[in-house]
Structure formats: structure tokens, C-alpha cells
Homo-oligomer: A and B are copies of this chain.
Amino acid sequence: MTTMLGSGNQACSPTHAPPCNTLGFLQKNNSLGEEGRLAGSLSERQKNLFSCVNSDRDARFRRTETDFSNMFARDLLPAKNGEEATMQFLLELVDILTNYVRKTFDRSTKVLDFHHPHQLLEGMEGFNLELSDQPESLEQILVDCRDTLKYGVRTGHPRFFNQLSTGLDIIGLAGEWLTSTANTNMFTYEIAPVFVLMEQLTLKKMREIIGWPSGEGDGIFSPGGAISNMYSVMIARYKYFPEVKTKGMSAAPRLVLFTSEHFLYFPVIPQSHYSIKKAGAALGFGSENVVLLSTDERGRVIPADLEAKILDVKQKGYHPLFVNATAGSTVYGAFDPINEIADICEKYNMWLHVDGAWGGGLLMSRKHRHKFSGVERANSVTWNPHKMMGVPLQCSAILVREKGILAGCNSMCAGYLFQPDKQYDVSYDTGDKAIQCGRHVDIFKFWLMWKAKGTVGFEQHIDKCLDLSQYLYDKIRNREGYEMVFEGVPQHTNVCFWYIPPSLRGMEHNSKEYREKLHKVAPNIKAMMMESGTTMVGYQPQGQKVNFFRMVISNPAALQSDIDFLIDEIERLGRDL
């Protein structure tokens, strides 16, 4: 094993490889001062050998041909003399990862290499998922890494349209790599000073964009939209019935939550309705006390239905507490009319939550943010940058108009007992306002992307995706063999449609046979797509409507030609059904 070190442009070739981890590459502003004590002392010879690395620039490791077959995890840092092995291992891994990244954007690469669970469990040539008592060599570990990627799904591929979260943002990726290298948690300023401040500034910026005066308010990043929505229900309950925190649900009347009916069966990625139901069940309301609101043909809640149902609930002696207005529904991409719902919430003194998990990104677009008209009247907003804005998973924010209410709701100790003897301003510690203890650092990748793109960069991405969705809509709405699930230009990038194979085209649409056959078309095409690995798009039924394709576009890599490809592929695979 040879060592190659370079410092800036200055090459540096030691004659053999000494233990690098005792060299003490001193970083100018981050080393122990006069009081510092070196754990291991260096021989003068070692110092001279590596004098070139004492420049301001850090030493640069170059990848060499390393034999990993006799090396093990125990040979890596913090093992004595483990530095060179560690660097070579990480660089080898990075080579695997960067190749994966390149191929992800290469349209000649498959989106996935599909295998059934039993196939992967039985073991694919050299890829054995079973864990054992004895360690494997680093060579095998690198093979396992390659295989893990090989049998996975390229969610960043330009033709991957299967989820609300698609794409592989390079800056976001860099942010995640750094986050995992820093490996800390958001609990206190003490151990995450920079990340805690980034979170604070970013939440403020998001509240400004929502339109709350001076960006004042509260908020936190949580592990996904369902948990963010759960927070909103918890704080609504705390606002109106604070004693539930200590005494339980028996301290309140029967509380009722309202959300869009827009679900039946199981959407590909459930949101709002579904997560509100789950929250209702988990938090002790009971899922029966989540009332579903009727929607119009486009999937938008009908305000009159909300008011009628509130009155009905009141008449029964229950307490209407909370309305969730969905801003970008999972299947149709529908935006509920926030202003009209806000009027009703004000009239009946209810909490208004806007679930913008999927739609939130549109707030960044001057062209499309009108769909959120009235959002500044909401008491709380869920907004997942990991969906429409292309931030890597997970990145979801719950934003709240009233300052301090998160801590009030979740804190388990009086503020003055909160280690007031720390030397810094402990109001920056976020632990007690979360329902989590440790909390993953989800902010950095998002902050870094915002720095790198600017608000305008997010806006361009949003506008481009909506343009592409319009392109798809225009392409298929009058095309032979297609039927739209709802009429009119979609509000979000969701385009819902049936592909009708030639064999079904003459049939009576209301016949049982037609419906049964059509119900099977999308699943069959999807299965063939996955087998051939060419593209992926979701499908589901909705209410009385049989299975249809739900196309969504959040992938920055997608072009019009990829939309064309998808349509060609549906027709190629479906024409003989």
C-alpha cells in the first residue's frame, strides 16, 4: 500500500507510508493552543518527512490501488495507524457512489433492476443479506455497497416519477454527506450550534414566505409530513384544552377533526387525510372523530360541506377543534380553498392547519403561490422541502403562527429549570419543544441548497415542473386512448389519467366488464415497467374510480423527452392488453 499526499499544487511523495494519524495536521484556527497537549509525540524524522503538509492547505489523499481483501473494519480509525486505510476505504466508496450518481442521470441506465423479495432473500451471486457473528473483509463490504445500489431503485433517474419525492440534488447530497460526517443531533445548541441556528433562520424565512408578520412564530423540523401534521393536532388541542396535557383526553369534551375525504383504498403515498386519521388514532381522539369533508370534481374541499358538518358535530354536543386544509393533495394535487375555510374557522373558533407537505414548494413561485391564497390566516402549516423542492429525504417542517406554543405543548419541565447554569443562552436549545429526544439534523442540506440556488433557484425549479406537467396534460388530454380522471389544468404537477388499450376502446364505459378490465390495466403496465426497468409511475383507484395513473413531476432531471418516453412506454407495454 502506498501513500500519496499532495498539498495544493505542491506534490509530496514520502518514500514509505508512516502512520498518518499521529502527524497532527494542525488546522490554523482549530487546534489546541499553547495549552494543547499532543497525545503522541512525533519523531523529528516524521516531522521532516511531512513538512509539506504543514502549509495552510490540508493534505490531500489520493486514491491508490488498495487490496481490501485482508483488511477489516478493525483496521480503520480509530485503530492505531488506521488513517491510510480509512482514507483509501472512503475514497473507494466515494468512487462507487460517484459512479452511481453519474449513471443515475444517464438515460441509458435502467431505473431499477427488479427482483422479487424471495429472490433477494435467497441471495444474488455474492450478495447475502444475512448477518453473521464474524466480520467480513472490507472488500466484501465494498461489494455489498455496490450490490445494495445495484438492486435498489434510482429515485434520481430522469424517468423516475413514482413518488412525490424524486430527483437527486447534488448540493442536497453534499449536504447529507456532511451531515452524516458531523453526526450530531439537534437537541441542544451545545452539540449542534451551527445547525440549530440554521434551523432557526430557515424556519423564520419560511414563515416570512407564508406571510406571517416579520416571520414571527414557532416551528421545528420533524421526521416527515405525518409527524408534522401530528404536531399540528397536538398544539391545536393544547391551545384550546391545555389541561389535556396533564389530565388526558377526559379533561376535554369529545373533540372532532376535519379533513378532506380524498382517500379510499390506499394511495401510493398517503398524506393529509391519512396522516390526520393516524394522528387522530394515535393521539387519543379516535379515528371516528376525524370527519371527512366532501370534495368537488377536482378534489377540493367544499366549504359549505365543512360548515354543515361542523354544525352537525356541534348539535351532537361534540367540539369541533381543527380543520386541515390540504394544499396539494396526494392524488389530484388539489388545493383546498384556504380563505373560505379560514372564514369558517374564525366563525367557529377552530384551529386552521394547512397541510402543504406536497404543495408547500409552490409558495416559492410568484406564478403559482396564489394557490395558497389565505395561508397567512392559518394557525399552522406543514411544508416538506423533501417533496416538491427536491431536498433529500427527510426534511419536513411544522410552522406555527403563535410563538412559544410548541414548547408549551411538549415541554416536560418549567423553563427556569432548564439547565440555567449553562454559559450560553439556553433559549437556543430545542430539545424540550420536540416530541423526540435526539433529533436528526435535517436542516443542513436544505440550508445549503437554499444558499446554492437562492430563492430564485427554487422558483425556477417549481415553475419548470409545473410547465412540464402542463406539457403532459396538453399532450394526452385529446390523445386517442387516454382519458383524464378530472377535467381542467391540474393545480399541481399531478396529472391523473387512464390509458385505454385498443381492446377496450369500443366498450360501454359504465359496464361492469369494462370497469373490471380497465382496473387491471395500470397495475399490469406498471408491473411490466418495473420488470423492464425503463421508468416508474404510480397508480391507484380513487373513490369509485378504477385504477388510473397518477403522474407527478418533482424531478429536476426530467425533460419533455422523458414525458414523451413515458407515454411511448405506456403505449408499448399496454397496447396488447
Interface string of A394-422 (1 = CB under 8 A from B): 10000000000000001011000111011
A-B contacts besides A39-B158, A163-B185, 15 pairs, CB < 8 Å: A77-B170, A78-B158, A91-B94, A93-B174, A133-B455, A133-B456, A155-B191, A165-B185, A168-B183, A176-B180, A187-B269, A224-B438, A234-B282, A282-B282, A282-B283
Interface string of A147-187 (1 = CB under 8 A from B): 11111110110100011010010110110111111111101
Known A-B contacts A91-B94, A173-B181; A152 and B194 likewise in contact (beta carbons under 8 Å): yes
List of B residues within 8 angstroms of A547 by Cβ: 421
Q: How far is the CA of A432 from the CA of B269 in the complex (A)?
A: 10
Q: What is the chain B residue whose CB lies nearest that of A33?
A: B532
**CB <8 Å contact, A99 and B182:** no
Q: How large is the interface on A (under 10, 10 to 19, 20 to 34, 35 or more residues)?
A: 35 or more
**CB <8 Å contact, B285 and A132:** no
Q: How far is the CA of A176 from the CA of B176 in the complex (A)?
A: 8
**Binding stretch for chain B, among A19-27, A305-313, A486-494:** A19-27
Interface string of A274-293 (1 = CB under 8 A from B): 11011011111111110000
Could you pull out 16 A-B pairs where Cβ atoms are within 8 angstroms?
A24-B106, A39-B107, A76-B170, A78-B158, A132-B455, A144-B451, A149-B178, A176-B177, A179-B180, A180-B392, A224-B438, A245-B287, A249-B250, A266-B432, A268-B419, A282-B410
Known A-B contacts A182-B149, A439-B224; A191 and B205 likewise in contact (beta carbons under 8 Å): no
Q: How far is the CA of A145 from the CA of B23 in the complex (A)?
A: 24
List of B residues within 8 angstroms of A182 by Cβ: 148-149, 152, 155
Most chain B C-beta atoms within 10 Å of own C-beta, residue among A30, A134, A155: A30
**CB <8 Å contact, A440 and B223:** yes
What distance in Å separates the Cβ of A553 from its nearest Cβ neighbour in chain B?
13
Q: What is the chain B residue whose CB lies nearest that of A226?
A: B437
* A17 on interface, CB distance cutoff 8 Å: no
